[in-house]
Amino acid sequence: MVHLWVRAEERPDEARVGLTPEGAAALIAKGFRVTIEDSPARALPLAPYLDAGCAAAPAGSWREAPAEVFVFGLKELREEPSPLIHRHIMFGHAYKGQPAGQRLLARLRAGGGVLYDLEALVDEAGRRVAAFGYWAGYVGAALALKAWAAQVKGTICGPVRAFPGREALLEALVEELGDVLRPDALIIGALGRTGQGASDLLAAMKVRAQAWDKAETAHGGPFSEVLGHEIFLNCILAAPGCPVFVPADAPETQRRLRVIGDIACDPGAEYSPIKVYGRPTNWDAPALRVHDAPPLDVVAIDNLPALLPVESSHDFAAQLLPHLAALDAIETGVWARARAEFERHAP
């Protein structure tokens, strides 16, 4: 019997979950066992999971769970020295040389555990089968506009917190922008799910956006056009060979560019296309000012969809559910490909 253990997220600002009560009921009907840890921070309440037939467990108790369970979460685990013995399903952020990711792989190697990275769940053509991309783009574009509005007022973007829903986000943004003239924007990666989310948010805010994708970036750069827009939104998934869109010397050059929304957010990767910053931003300080006059701010939050936890949880969980239902065939399909990717990075 497959036992899926849905852990409480250990990151303070994370309220998303990758399995809904309806999804849990479908897995249980198939014969799976589902345990869900209690979490007052989770956007979806515990009671419907229990009504669906899940067993409840205290937050963090996955550490004492039987070795055969699949421990399912979204964001990173709390960093500890202890070896990891379980099979973990999560976004590990461990395959691009990130220091924290390397420590995670070391813990898995030490304990004989396995990472089934959610980014590595791909179909036969290499396309991800489940992603938060749309809502990352939507929220990332919103925060880039928020950072731009703060600049207009002569300040820097202040703290943000999760919204109860999309309409609340839009209402807050309309109020913040007021009647000021809207900026112009460039989206690179506009044809993907992330780019579509960014495009939809900008359209809702009546912001004119130029949309680029592979055809416009195929020549490899340099891309001086990026500096000619007030807002640049990077929506591509960085990979080896990725061109540089914003070089390190961009802040000192003549430019209209005022805000970079690095929605893909890979500052720790050597092939990041944005070279003017080196660390993610966060909810308490969403914008990092990398140049003062004229100002240039970078918004690079690595859990953007968590600002709309209800919508993003339902969307992601619906994409992932058919594949969770295939955990009883772990040696095939998307799970076999994810295991092979883990073995390649953690031999």
The pLDDT confidence band at residue 105, using thresholds 50, 70 and 90, is: very high
> Cis link prior to 294 (omega < 30° from 0)?
yes
Report the mean per-residue pLDDT for the chain. 96
- pLDDT number for residue 96: 80
Pairing state between β 259-262 and 296-299: parallel
The pLDDT confidence band at residue 267, using thresholds 50, 70 and 90, is: confident
Task: Inform me whether the pLDDT recorded for 268 exceeds 80.
Answer: no
- pLDDT, mean of residues 161-170: 96
Inter-residue contact 121 to 129 (CB < 8 Å): yes
Give CA separation, 295 vs 22, 159, 210, 322, in Å: 47, 19, 22, 46
**Residues with a known catalytic role:** 75, 93
Inter-residue contact 278 to 312 (CB < 8 Å): no
Q: 7-21, 22-36, 236-250: lowest mean pLDDT where?
A: 236-250
- pLDDT, mean of residues 144-169: 96
Inter-residue contact 298 to 262 (CB < 8 Å): yes
Task: Inform me whether the pLDDT recorded for 269 exceeds 80.
Answer: no
Domain span(s) for CATH 3.40.50.720 in the chain = 3-120+308-345, 133-307
Domain 3-120+308-345: CATH class, spelled out: alpha beta
pTM attached to this predicted model: 0.90
Task: Inform me whether the pLDDT recorded for 97 exceeds 90.
Answer: no
What does residue 288 show for φ and ψ, rounded to 5 degrees? -105, 120
Tell me the DSSP string of 285-324.
S-EEEEETTTTEEEE-BTTGGGGSHHHHHHHHHHHHHHHH
Give CA separation, 19 vs 27, 36, 71, 214, 266, in Å: 10, 10, 12, 33, 26
Choose which CATH entry (3.40.50.720, 3.40.50.2020, 1.10.1040.10, 1.20.210.10) describes domain 133-307: 3.40.50.720
- pLDDT number for residue 284: 97
Token readout for 284 is 């308490």
Rounded to 5°, angle at Cα 266 from 40 and 147: 70
The pLDDT confidence band at residue 238, using thresholds 50, 70 and 90, is: confident
Give residue-wise pLDDT tens across range 288-308. 999 999 999 999 998 999 999
Report the distance separating Cα 185 and Cα 125, nearest Å: 32
- pLDDT number for residue 173: 96
